[in-house]
Amino acid sequence: MEKGTVYFFTGLAGAGKTTIGGLFYQKLHEISPNAVLKDGDKLRAMSGHRDYSTESRKKGAWGLFEDCRDLADQGRDVVVCSISMYKEIRDWNRANIENYREVYIKVSMDTLRQRDQKGLYTTGVKQVVGVDLPWDEPETPDIVIENDKGETPESIVDRIVSFFGLGGRA
């Protein structure tokens, strides 16, 4: 059986992971009907998990990516939208998920403060990755998308689809 691919959309809160990853999933689903979308915020909300400690975040990330690996091993494509801010998690993904693709949605802190959709950057909220929690910025993503240039999410997704060679299939 051919293995699926895990497409991991990572970046800080408010960078556009969910929007861009969700649109990418819609295009991927057209060519891979058994594709799966996993959103970190929704998974955390569904589990009722409110602990944002380092240990809790790592435990959640390990479980998420072990699940993604299992789905990919069964031939399913998986789109994951999550901060997963630890280098060791991304290193594990590269070593243990055969078809792993990392998309880093990069946005400047100035832009994140201006957007601040969730009120994380200007209200003094604690345990915010990149503010008072460490952020291991991705060092070796497959593609870096700078999402503070005014480009539409649809245009960005078209670039990602083309980058991964899905253009003729989507």
Question: Domain containing 99: what range?
Answer: 6-163
pTM of the model: 0.88
Residue 21 within any structural domain of the chain? yes
Q: Please check whether residue 11 lies inside any domain of the structure.
A: yes
Under the banding of pLDDT at 50, 70 and 90, the label for residue 130 is low
Number of H helices, E strands in the chain: 6, 5
Q: Is residue 59 pLDDT above 90, yes or no? A: no
Beta-strand relationship, 78-81 and 100-106: unpaired
pLDDT (tens digit, 9 = 90+) per residue, 104-120? 999 988 888 888 777 66
In a domain, 154, yes or no: yes
What is the Cα 33 distance to its own chain's centre? 20
* Residue-averaged pLDDT of the chain: 85
With respect to residue 118, please indicate whether it lies within any of the assigned structural domains: yes
* pLDDT band, residue 86 (cuts 50/70/90): confident
Strand partners, 105: 145
User: Does the residue 129 lie in any domain?
Assistant: yes
Instruction: Provide the percentage of residues in the chain whose pLDDT is more than 70.
Output: 79
Tell me what pLDDT residue 168 has: 56
pLDDT, position 1: 80
| H/E stretch holding 144 | strand 143-146
Could you tell me the pLDDT band of residue 170, with boundaries at 50, 70 and 90?
A: very low
**Within a domain: 170:** no
> Between residues 73 and 60, which one has the greater pLDDT?
73
Domains in the chain, number: 1
CB-based contact 15:128 (threshold 8 Å): no
Residue 1 lies in a domain: no
- Residue 18 domain-assigned? yes
User: What's the confidence (pLDDT) of residue 53?
Assistant: 67
Average pLDDT over residues 96-106: 96
Phi first, then psi, for residue 124 (nearest 5°) are: 80, 15
* Domain at 22, CATH number: 3.40.50.300
Contacts of 95 (CB under 8 A, 6+ apart): none
| Residues near 66 by beta carbon (within 8 Å), at least 6 away in sequence | none
What is the CB-side half-sphere exposure of residue 19 using CA atoms within 13 A? 13
Mean pLDDT of 32-60: 71
Residue 101, SS3 per DSSP: strand
Q: Are 170 and 161 within 8 A, CB to CB?
A: yes
d(CA 121, CA 125) in angstroms, rounded, equals 7
Q: How confident is the model at residue 151 (pLDDT cuts 50, 70, 90)?
A: very high
Question: What sign for the dihedral angle of Cα 18, 20, 24, 27?
Answer: positive
